[in-house]
Chain A
C-alpha cells in the first residue's frame, strides 16, 4: 500500500472517517445480531450454577451399562459439534453433490435499495463519516447524535 509519508495524512482522515474494515465489521456485527436467540443474560443464570451442576455429576457416575434414561446433559456431551464444524465436515465428505453450502441462493440481479437508518423511508443521501444512509437533515441530526461514530465495531 502507500508509503510512510501518506500514513500521517491517512491517520488524520481516519479520525473523521470510518475506514472500510470498520464498516465491514459493523455490518457483520449487525448481521450476527439478526441471528441471535437472546440479547439479555439468562435470568436464571445464578440458579443454574447452584442446582444443575451437582445433579449432572451424579448422573455421570450412575450412567454405567444398564441405564434406562440418560440425562439431557449426557446428550450434550455425546453430540457436541457446533454449526461451523458440521458445515465443514459436510464440505469435506460431500463436496461433489448438492449440499448445505451449494444450496444457498446466489446474489440478486437487482440493484440494492437504500433506506434511511433513522426512519426507514427511502433515502438518497449517505453519511460521509460512516456510510449510513439518511433521508433528511432532521434524520442526519439524529444519526450524528445517536450512532454515526459514537460506537465502533
Chain B
C-alpha cells in the first residue's frame, strides 16, 4: 500500500478555483461566498450557487484582492467546502497538495498558507507554485523541443507576461498589467448602466453578458464604423436577452430588434470596446502597456539569443484569453512589433482555464516530483525557512 500516492491540485484563482485529484479531471469552483436576495436563509459557497434559482443581485465575498489572498476567513470557508463531501472528499492527511499562488506572492501570505495546510488540514506534503510554471510544464510536455516559452496569463484580477528559458522563470522579465476579467466586467456594468439599464448590482449576470457577447476586434476603427451603421447594415449589433430566472436561466445573444417580450440589452460597440482594454488599458485611464507591447517589453529582460525561441512559443492561459479573436490579435500585433525575421507563434490551449491545473497533474507524475515538495515532518522541524528554499519564486 502506498500511503501518499494521491496528489490534489488546487489552482486557486481569483474568480474560480480549479480543483481535483491528479487521477481525475478538474472541477471548476467559484472561489467565493455568494449571497442572493432571493435566498436569505443561507449563503452559497462555491458550486452551491447552482442550487440558487434566482441569481439576480448576487453579492460576492472574494478571498483574493488584486489577485492576492487577503480575506482568509472567506478562503478558509471555500477550501473547507472544496475538501468536503459535497465537492472533493479526500483524506488530506494522506494527500500531497499542489497549490498555486501569483507571481511575487507576499511572504506573510505564503507563511499563512503553509500554516493552514500543514497545521489545520494536516496534509502530508505541499508544493506551492505559480500557475504559469504549471502551464510551462504542460506546454513543454507537449512540445519537448521548445526550450523557451512566454506564458501570457489573462486572469480575473490582472494579466501577467512570464518568460521561461529552459524551464526557468526569468523573474526580471515578468510584467503585470492591471487589467483582468474583473475590470472588464465592471467597466461593462458601468457603461450599460449609464447608457441603458441599471445593472451595477448584477456582476454575475453581466459577467455572462461579457462572456457571451464580447470579441476582440481585428480592425478596431473599421469595426467602430460598422457599429455606427443602421441595424440592417450593422453586422456587429446584437441584442442580449437577459435571464428572468423562470424560463431563461442564462441569457443569450440574438439578432437586434427581433425580441418582443423579453428584456434585452443592446450590444453594439460594447461588444469589442470591452476586451480592447487588454490592448489599450489607457482607454479607461490606466497608463500601462497593452498585452502585445508588454510582451515586447518583457523580452528586454531576457538574453537576445532567446528572443526567437520565446516569440515562437507564446502561450495564452486564463479565462479572459477565451475572447474570440484574441489569439489572432496578439499574433498580429506582436508580429508588427517584433524584428521581421523572427517567427511568431501564439498558442491557445483547448481549455486555457484548466491548462495550469493539467500541468500540475502532469508534474505530480514527474519522477522528480518528490524533490519539489515539503513534507509535513520537514515543515514541523524546519518551518518556513525550508518552504522558502524549496519553493523559491
Contacts from A to B (Cβ < 8 Å): 27, 30-31, 33-44, 47, 69-70, 72-73, 75-76, 78-83, 86-87, 89-90, 93, 97-100, 103-110, 112-113, 115, 118-122, 146
State whether B297 touches A90 (Cβ < 8 A).
no
Contacts of B195 in A (CB 8 A): 118-120
State whether A83 touches B176 (Cβ < 8 A).
no
* Whole-angstrom CA separation of A34 from B290 in the bound complex: 17
Shortest Cβ gap from A9 to chain B (Å): 30
Of all chain A residues, which has the CB nearest B199?
A: A39
* Whole-angstrom CA separation of A44 from B38 in the bound complex: 11
Q: Is there a chain A Cβ closer than 8 Å to B249's Cβ? A: no
Question: Given that A30-B285, A97-B171, A107-B289 are contacting pairs, would A72 and B297 also be in contact in the complex, using a CB cutoff of 8 Å?
Answer: no
Question: Given that A69-B120, A78-B112, A105-B297 are contacting pairs, would A120 and B59 also be in contact in the complex, using a CB cutoff of 8 Å?
Answer: no
Contacts of A36 in B (CB 8 A): 186
Contacts of A98 in B (CB 8 A): 104, 171-172, 174
The contact sample of 11 A-B pairs, CB cut-off 8 A, is A27-B285, A37-B60, A44-B35, A72-B80, A89-B106, A100-B106, A103-B160, A105-B175, A107-B288, A115-B273, A121-B227
* Whole-angstrom CA separation of A108 from B269 in the bound complex: 23
State whether B182 touches A79 (Cβ < 8 A).
no
State whether A83 touches B280 (Cβ < 8 A).
no
Question: Given that A37-B60, A38-B203, A113-B280 are contacting pairs, would A44 and B40 also be in contact in the complex, using a CB cutoff of 8 Å?
Answer: yes
Q: Is there a chain A Cβ closer than 8 Å to B74's Cβ? A: yes
Interface of chain A, helix or strand or loop or mixed?
loop
Which one of B68, B270, B283 lies within 8 Å of A83 (CB-CB)? B68
State whether A72 touches B57 (Cβ < 8 A).
no
Q: Is there a chain A Cβ closer than 8 Å to B99's Cβ? A: no
Contacts from B to A (Cβ < 8 Å): 35-37, 40, 43, 57, 59-62, 65-66, 68, 70-77, 80, 103-104, 106-109, 112, 116, 120, 160-161, 171-172, 174-178, 182-183, 186-187, 189-191, 194-195, 200-201, 203, 221, 224, 227-228, 269-270, 273, 280-290, 293-294, 297
Which one of B40, B108, B284 lies within 8 Å of A79 (CB-CB)? B108
* Extra contacts besides A89-B108, A118-B195, A120-B191 (8): CB < 8 Å: A83-B70, A89-B107, A98-B172, A98-B174, A99-B104, A105-B176, A110-B280, A121-B269
Shortest Cβ gap from A82 to chain B (Å): 7
Which one of B36, B80, B103, B228 lies within 8 Å of A103 (CB-CB)? B103
Contacts of A107 in B (CB 8 A): 287-289
State whether A37 touches B73 (Cβ < 8 A).
no
* Whole-angstrom CA separation of A39 from B178 in the bound complex: 20
State whether B76 touches A40 (Cβ < 8 A).
no
Contacts of A121 in B (CB 8 A): 224, 227-228, 269
Which one of B76, B106, B112 lies within 8 Å of A90 (CB-CB)? B106
State whether B70 touches A38 (Cβ < 8 A).
no
State whether A44 touches B43 (Cβ < 8 A).
yes
Contacts of B72 in A (CB 8 A): 72, 75-76, 78-80
Question: Given that A79-B72, A122-B221 are contacting pairs, would A37 and B62 also be in contact in the complex, using a CB cutoff of 8 Å?
Answer: yes
Contacts of B70 in A (CB 8 A): 81-83, 86
* Whole-angstrom CA separation of A120 from B98 in the bound complex: 44
Contacts of B109 in A (CB 8 A): 79, 86
Contacts of A38 in B (CB 8 A): 59-60, 201, 203
Question: Given that A105-B288, A108-B287 are contacting pairs, would A81 and B108 also be in contact in the complex, using a CB cutoff of 8 Å?
Answer: yes
State whether B283 touches A115 (Cβ < 8 A).
yes
Shortest Cβ gap from B223 to chain A (Å): 11
* Whole-angstrom CA separation of A104 from B103 in the bound complex: 12
State whether B66 touches A35 (Cβ < 8 A).
yes
Question: Given that A30-B285, A37-B62, A75-B116 are contacting pairs, would A106 and B297 also be in contact in the complex, using a CB cutoff of 8 Å?
Answer: yes
Of all chain A residues, which has the CB nearest B121?
A: A69
Shortest Cβ gap from B267 to chain A (Å): 11
State whether A104 touches B176 (Cβ < 8 A).
yes
Shortest Cβ gap from B49 to chain A (Å): 14
Shortest Cβ gap from A106 to chain B (Å): 6
- Residue among B106, B161, B186 with most chain A CB within 10 A: B106
Question: Given that A43-B36, A72-B74 are contacting pairs, would A108 and B280 also be in contact in the complex, using a CB cutoff of 8 Å?
Answer: yes
Contacts of A106 in B (CB 8 A): 288-289, 297
Contacts of A39 in B (CB 8 A): 189, 200-201
Contacts of B73 in A (CB 8 A): 72-73, 75-76
Shortest Cβ gap from B92 to chain A (Å): 12
* Whole-angstrom CA separation of A43 from B55 in the bound complex: 12
Which one of B57, B186, B203, B297 lies within 8 Å of A43 (CB-CB)? B57
Contacts of B120 in A (CB 8 A): 69-70
Contacts of B286 in A (CB 8 A): 31
* Whole-angstrom CA separation of A113 from B104 in the bound complex: 32
Question: Given that A47-B40, A98-B172 are contacting pairs, would A72 and B76 also be in contact in the complex, using a CB cutoff of 8 Å?
Answer: yes
* Whole-angstrom CA separation of A108 from B289 in the bound complex: 4
* Whole-angstrom CA separation of A35 from B297 in the bound complex: 25
